[in-house]
Structure 1
């Protein structure tokens, strides 16, 4: 059963001059943790604003819990929780005041629904009198999630919730999402961080307003097998230039201190070492590797240019 259904959604800005979403379609199953993965400007926020009834699509239709995002906007607003990418709570109110305010907006109380947020709120409760504007990134994140959950939503939309947050807080946040999912809440989350794709049941890779692939992480990687190598040498700048000038090479991109190089399927492992020796490189290291989701995303981007 699908909780979120998107059919051929299109959205443009600046009188049709800027295409934000281009014929986007997908479904999110009930109780699923679904990830929308892509860089800044890919269309993630536009899509979230449509699904939370803050924007009207130019074409296509979308449903949340069987309700139309245009016709049934007031009903949808009562059953979804939305955490926008930019911290949007009242910075001159305290943690406690923000939470009470949002509970009142949804005609409930913190006491009534405290069980929904208890596990998260206990981590920030010692600072409940601190103004929201004075909180750290991780604490703002937890407060925003509490405010999005206080009315017991059926669907939770989280737009880049871990952007600008330290690695420890990022992990804690995803652990919290796993526990929320276990309660049966359907969660749709967007992120530019490819490593977070592994925490989702299924993902959609999005770039320039188009869905490039949609499936489990493992299935997407398996469908786009690559003859991939990690390459390093003493002079990394010259290494990068020589690899990118070689027309026999499919692609070469920097990954940390190494270059990830894709060769045509029929090329032998020795090709890269021989080529780099011919170019005068020293300290050459070449090893065959399994593609990651980052490698797969780059491959899909090149194929869809």
Structure 2
């Protein structure tokens, strides 16, 4: 059953206040500026995707927003609490799922959840563990050793542990890395179910299909937030026209087009070559002249999210890579 939609409206703000509202966050590690003037808002009940290449500042930004790290400058609130002065209150209301699976493999699913509940001194511990097992579909596997679980089931266990204390906000750091497509789909079904209950989700991901399932997105590179909004708003912000070319020897054609005025980007997608540019007329002229007489099929297509992210990634490396 489909739970929620990236096109559906989230539940909005509680009393007009976003779940996350941060302004001009900065963080240095030594002489490296890893988070550079990041400003964003996440509404209650919203799934907000955080995208960018490895080392772009995603994880550090997430930790700043939930009070796990203190910014060098900037301000903001998370769930109405100040991210600098009230980090302890934030942590009590946030579920944080890291990239690394960190549960005991020689314990059962139930034992792992019970152990987490004991650490946090939760009241009604058994009831909370039972509810987490039920909600995440883990009940029939509750007594199975964690070490014997597949990646998808380990992922469910990690999410169940995040949800034990009934947080109002989930921070998920590349939670589906290394998980098969079916498990990833099921995981996102669960995220939309939680969002429909008013829980906010900030999730970092490398997968374009996951990005398209978010209510809103932000793209960060070299610590700078380059674009944010709905998937369509992010696509529109770059004003790229794109053509698709089908035929043989696409790699050679890609290299040739890349040197042609009017062409800003060429990317091979399977049996098709996507060619993008800002000057729509110059782009079409370049493609038609270069492919004239060649046994290829050309057609204009809608610019996709992946076209845009590849473009932003290459331009951010050119603009900020050396400085970083």
1:289 corresponds to which residue? Answer: 301
Give the alignment's Cα RMSD to 1 decimal. 2.1
| Residue 2 (structure 1) aligned with residue 14 (structure 2) | no
User: 2:47 touches 2:202 (CA, 8 Å); kept in 1?
Assistant: yes
| Residue 196 (structure 1) aligned with residue 210 (structure 2) | yes
Query: After superposition, what is the alpha-carbon deviation per residue over 1:211-266, rounded to whole angstroms, capped at 9, x for unaligned?
Result: 11111112222333322111233123322221223244222122233221124222
CA displacement at 1:272 relative to structure 2: 1.6
CA displacement at 1:294 relative to structure 2: 1.3
Q: Quick check: 140-149 or 64-73, which moved more?
A: 64-73
User: 1:232 touches 1:239 (CA, 8 Å); kept in 2?
Assistant: no
Report the TM-score, using the length of structure 2 for normalisation. Answer: 0.85
User: 2:262 touches 2:282 (CA, 8 Å); kept in 1?
Assistant: no
User: 1:64 touches 1:76 (CA, 8 Å); kept in 2?
Assistant: yes
Please list every run of 5 or more consecutive structure 2 residues that lacks an aligned counterpart in the other structure.
1-16, 320-324
Matches within 5 A, 1:66-77: 66-77=80-91
User: 1:240 touches 1:252 (CA, 8 Å); kept in 2?
Assistant: yes
Matches within 5 A, 1:87-98: 87-98=101-112
CA displacement at 1:269 relative to structure 2: 4.0
Aligned match of 1:111 in 116, 127, 132? 127
Matches within 5 A, 1:128-277: 128-263=142-277, 264-267=279-282, 269=284, 271-277=286-292
Please list every run of 5 or more consecutive structure 1 residues that lacks an aligned counterpart in the other structure.
none
Report the TM-score, using the length of structure 1 for normalisation. Answer: 0.90
Between the two proteins, the alignment pairs up a number of residues equal to 298
Aligned match of 2:55 in 21, 25, 41? 41
Aligned match of 1:11 in 1, 11, 27? 27
